[in-house]
A and B are shown apart, each in its own frame.
Chain A
């Protein structure tokens, strides 16, 4: 079957679909999907308690019809102008949550770092722990991406120079840290519909990073690109928070039912902040 345009994958990039989701062996041979060596920590959002994400804009972009996805994606890959291309060009490294249960803060923090990259701001490694700890009372507990992005919008994120990425420790929660974190606030973000892949795809084609929660994985990651598979179906490129040993430098492609997030927020504007 000729499906026309097919995306180019990164070298050795794993494709995680319905058939192989529980044992993915990347180039280095380790099983990565279960997070044997890394934490996860996404707790599904209680939609009765939180029907809306506080402060989020509703999805107001014009939805790009699926019939146009392949043409747009082919053009972006040809021009090397996709969000993935931009991340690779900038050399923005993945986060590494190590053994913490803070994936849900890492995904939103990565969105913030990508937005800064797109604005041309200096690369400042930001601390997911500075987002998660005040929410969870400095306990190593899970959460969902809407919680973390709301915290980032209200209070910002501390640079890792003031609060190490995975440090669960009150000593870093100081007035000086909070003053600096407030300079790294997301100004505008959008709540996407529950399990609405068309909205996610539109964000990807408009090069807007999303934090995405997957109930099947109990994990939250950053979504950074749409992918056209060999069989004509679609995939979602993710940027995980398990360091560079996961996938290809932290990136992988989810397909089938595995690519549809149960919860998602799209970052749009972050405060401009020079070094």
Chain B
């Protein structure tokens, strides 16, 4: 008797689903390998959310370099990014549900996406989780 869902086909479907999930960052919860990162923070115009020099310094030294500049940006949601790099424009176009919001991209291209913590220590902990100590 042939089962309604053959075992091999079911396993293949599960593998495909897993790969898709991994490709899109695992819903924002899958650990990325710690290493150089690309970071985009988006905020409303009232106040920039990343201000502490400890966090800024960490990002300047742990983000990948685009030329001489660390790949860290924080933009107002209404900024004109026409003249930015394609990498940042892609992140800027990704969906977000509130502000401030952060996208962290690993070198493999996986993207973590979520609300940015308000507290400095939590911000640093988040970035260190993906960018290394």
Give chain A's interface residues, CB within 8 Å of chain B. 61, 76, 79-81, 85-86, 88-90, 118-123, 183, 185, 187-188, 206-207, 268-269, 271-275
Residues from chain B with a CB closer than 8 A to the CB of A85 are 53
The answer on a CB contact under 8 Å between A274 and B85 is: yes
Instruction: Answer whether residue B82 sits at the interface, using C-beta atoms and an 8 A cutoff.
Output: yes
The answer on a CB contact under 8 Å between B83 and A274 is: yes
Residues from chain B with a CB closer than 8 A to the CB of A271 are 79-83
Residues from chain B with a CB closer than 8 A to the CB of A79 are 51-52, 54, 120
Instruction: Answer whether residue B108 sits at the interface, using C-beta atoms and an 8 A cutoff.
Output: no
Residues from chain B with a CB closer than 8 A to the CB of A81 are 51-53, 120
Residues from chain A with a CB closer than 8 A to the CB of B80 are 185, 187, 271-272
A120-B73, A123-B69 known; 13 new pairs, CB 8 Å cut-off, are: A61-B46, A79-B51, A119-B73, A122-B68, A122-B69, A207-B47, A207-B48, A268-B45, A268-B76, A269-B76, A271-B80, A272-B80, A275-B66
Alpha-carbon separation in the docked complex, A122 to B59 (Å): 14
Residues from chain A with a CB closer than 8 A to the CB of B81 are 271-272
Give chain B's interface residues, CB within 8 Å of chain A. 45-48, 51-54, 56-57, 59, 66-70, 72-76, 78-85, 88, 120
Residues from chain B with a CB closer than 8 A to the CB of A76 are 51
The answer on a CB contact under 8 Å between A86 and B84 is: no
Residues from chain B with a CB closer than 8 A to the CB of A274 are 66, 69, 83-85, 88
Alpha-carbon separation in the docked complex, A156 to B57 (Å): 29
The answer on a CB contact under 8 Å between A80 and B52 is: yes
Nearest CB to that of A206 among chain B residues?
B47
Residues from chain B with a CB closer than 8 A to the CB of A120 are 59, 69-70, 72-74
Alpha-carbon separation in the docked complex, A123 to B68 (Å): 9
Residues from chain A with a CB closer than 8 A to the CB of B48 are 118, 207
The answer on a CB contact under 8 Å between A118 and B74 is: yes
Residues from chain A with a CB closer than 8 A to the CB of B73 are 119-121, 272
Most chain A CB within 10 A, of B51, B52, B67, is at: B51
From the candidates A119, A188, A268, name the one contacting B75 in the complex (CB within 8 A). Answer: A119
22 A-B interface contacts by CB (under 8 A)? A80-B52, A80-B53, A86-B51, A86-B56, A118-B48, A118-B74, A119-B74, A119-B75, A120-B59, A120-B70, A120-B73, A122-B67, A122-B69, A183-B83, A187-B78, A268-B76, A269-B45, A271-B80, A271-B83, A273-B83, A275-B68, A275-B69
Residues from chain B with a CB closer than 8 A to the CB of A88 are 53
